[in-house]
């Protein structure tokens, strides 16, 4: 293994696995394996990149650090010479969050400072300029992410936001350094390290900026950020002799399908609205769930009653209603019950013959993947930037799409199901 990835949630892991698997050079690509939870066995010798999918984005810092360090130890044992700590391109971390503590803990374990922190993903509208994170051209705290149910983002200036979580000062490499080239970036990172800055926010407004950053840190033991910077790092590993002849995994799984949507993001609500317009839809209302009036068994019965039609089961609601039910039932309690509902529903429908499963929402996806006891998956065709089809092989293969709430166009669900059955 050449490159190891520690991802703080399952959709983020699929996102970066997709980016790396899609990156090629000289007809070669890196072989990527995505693992759900910390593997208990060594990786296959043919694996170039191991992506460890964890679920600690919303956990207390101490627990998140412990999980990340365990993953680091396993990846090092597989021979990984470079580690990427992958977190969300919209940062998704409150002042009490764990991005800073995990980044600092990994840096300490690897004995490095001046570590790049760049969540930018220009293809999906996430850019960083003068340290400020933008989403589709809007400052982060004006993009709708200020209403995130678990990690509301109320400040777009990342050095200030991240410094609330860290023990060391947070640096910034603005775009003037990026434009000056990889050598200038490397020098700036060296200076940041000399000044005791462990994590350094880096500007990036397009893929060219990310390529410069990747060149500057091609040999760095640790890189942190979103998935987009991984493309440049993957190219560096291919140039260094990694990879096999490139090709895309075909899927062709045409069995029964179900869509599960737990995200309340604007993008997911649009996707739910479009899909439910011509597909059977079951809304999981908070009051009914908390009162025991809707159960996973009820959801299974709903799926069975649809025959050959593909249903959607969703809890996605607008921000005002979300705040209302969080106040009524408690945000953490409600989130846990919803995760458990979707996890148990997924397990039941797959046990009853579903072979294509689309899941929207990072926490929901993590709960579902854990419930299905997935170990490792292969990376299939790309549905949307950051979201591939995943194939869990076995006696009865299962095709999955684990989508972060904010990703994908309005037709995402239909496109995902079609690609699972008829790969391009």
Domain boundary among 219, 245, 271: 245
Q: Are 95 and 228 in a shared domain?
A: yes
Q: Are 403 and 274 in a shared domain?
A: yes
**Tokens, residue 281:** 């839809």
Domain assignment present for 70: yes
Q: Are 103 and 159 in a shared domain?
A: yes
**Tokens, residue 144:** 């709708």
Q: Are 337 and 282 in a shared domain?
A: yes
- Counted domains in the chain: 2
What CA–CA distance (Å, rounded) separates 105 from 222?
11
What CA–CA distance (Å, rounded) separates 258 from 266?
21
Q: Are 14 and 80 in a shared domain?
A: yes
Q: Are 58 and 126 in a shared domain?
A: yes
Q: Are 274 and 135 in a shared domain?
A: no
Q: Are 235 and 378 in a shared domain?
A: no
Question: Mind listing the pLDDT tens digit of every residue in the chain (424 residues)?
Answer: 999 999 998 888 988 999 998 888 778 889 898 998 888 899 988 899 999 999 898 899 999 999 999 999 999 999 999 999 999 888 877 888 899 999 999 999 999 999 999 999 998 899 999 999 998 888 878 777 776 666 777 788 999 999 999 999 999 999 999 999 999 999 999 999 999 999 999 999 999 999 999 999 999 999 999 999 999 999 999 998 887 776 655 678 888 999 999 998 899 999 999 999 999 999 999 999 999 999 999 999 999 999 999 999 999 888 888 888 888 888 889 999 999 999 999 999 999 999 999 999 988 988 898 898 877 788 888 898 878 888 887 778 899 999 988 889 999 999 999 999 986 5
Q: Are 83 and 216 in a shared domain?
A: yes
Q: Are 237 and 285 in a shared domain?
A: no
Domain boundary among 245, 275, 298: 245
- Long-range contacts, 216-220 (Cβ 8 Å, 24+): 216/116, 216/182, 216/183, 216/185, 216/186, 216/189, 217/116, 217/185, 217/186, 217/189, 219/82, 220/82, 220/112, 220/115, 220/116
- Domain of 203, in residue numbers: 3-245
Domain assignment present for 62: yes
Strand boundaries in 54-162, DSSP class E:
82-86, 115-118, 126-129, 132-135, 138-139
Domain boundary among 203, 224, 245: 245
**pTM of this structure:** 0.80
Domain assignment present for 14: yes
Q: What is the domain-level CATH number for residue 344?
A: 3.40.980.20
Domain assignment present for 250: no
What CA–CA distance (Å, rounded) separates 32 from 44?
11
């Amino acid at each position: 293994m050449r490159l190891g990835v520690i991802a703080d949630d399952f959709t983020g892991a699929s996102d970066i696995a997709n980016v790396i698997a899609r990156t090629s050079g000289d007809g070669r690509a890196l072989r990527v394996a995505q693992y759900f939870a910390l593997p208990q066995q060594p990786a296959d010798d043919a694996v170039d990149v191991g992506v460890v999918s964890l679920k600690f984005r919303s956990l207390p810092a101490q627990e998140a650090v412990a999980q990340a360090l365990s993953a680091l130890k396993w990846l090092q044992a597989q021979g990984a010479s470079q580690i990427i700590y992958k977190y969300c391109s919209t940062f998704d971390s409150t002042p009490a969050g764990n991005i800073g503590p995990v980044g600092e803990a990994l840096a300490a374990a690897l004995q490095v400072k001046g570590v790049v922190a760049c969540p930018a993903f220009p293809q999906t509208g996430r850019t960083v300029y003068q340290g400020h994170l933008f989403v589709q051209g809007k400052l982060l705290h004006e993009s709708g992410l200020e209403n995130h149910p678990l990690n509301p983002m109320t400040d777009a200036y990342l050095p200030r936001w991240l410094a609330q979580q860290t023990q060391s000062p947070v640096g910034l490499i603005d775009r003037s350094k990026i434009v000056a080239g990889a050598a200038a970036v490397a020098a700036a990172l060296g200076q940041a390290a000399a000044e005791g800055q462990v994590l350094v926010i880096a500007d990036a407004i397009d893929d060219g900026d990310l390529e410069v950053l990747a060149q500057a840190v091609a040999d760095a033991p640790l890189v942190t950020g979103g998935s987009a910077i991984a493309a440049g790092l993957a190219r560096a590993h291919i140039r260094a002799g990694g990879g096999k002849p490139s090709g895309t995994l075909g899927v062709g799984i045409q069995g029964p399908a179900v869509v599960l949507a737990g995200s309340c993001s604007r993008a997911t609500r649009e996707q739910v609205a479009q899909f439910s317009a011509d597909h059977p839809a079951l809304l999981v209302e908070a009051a009914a769930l908390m009162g025991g009036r809707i159960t996973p068994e009820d959801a299974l019965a709903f799926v069975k009653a649809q025959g050959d039609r593909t249903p959607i089961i969703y809890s996605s609601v607008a921000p005002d209603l979300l705040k209302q039910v969080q106040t009524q039932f408690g945000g953490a309690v409600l989130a846990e019950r919803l995760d458990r509902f979707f996890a148990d529903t997924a397990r039941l429908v797959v046990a009853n013959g579903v072979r294509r499963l689309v899941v929207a929402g990072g926490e929901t996806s993590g709960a579902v993947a854990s419930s299905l006891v997935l170990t490792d998956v292969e990376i299939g065709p790309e549905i949307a930037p950051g979201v591939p089809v995943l194939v869990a092989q076995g006696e009865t293969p299962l095709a999955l799409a684990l989508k972060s709430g904010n990703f994908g166009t309005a037709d995402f669900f239909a496109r995902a199901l079609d690609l699972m059955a008829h790969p391009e």
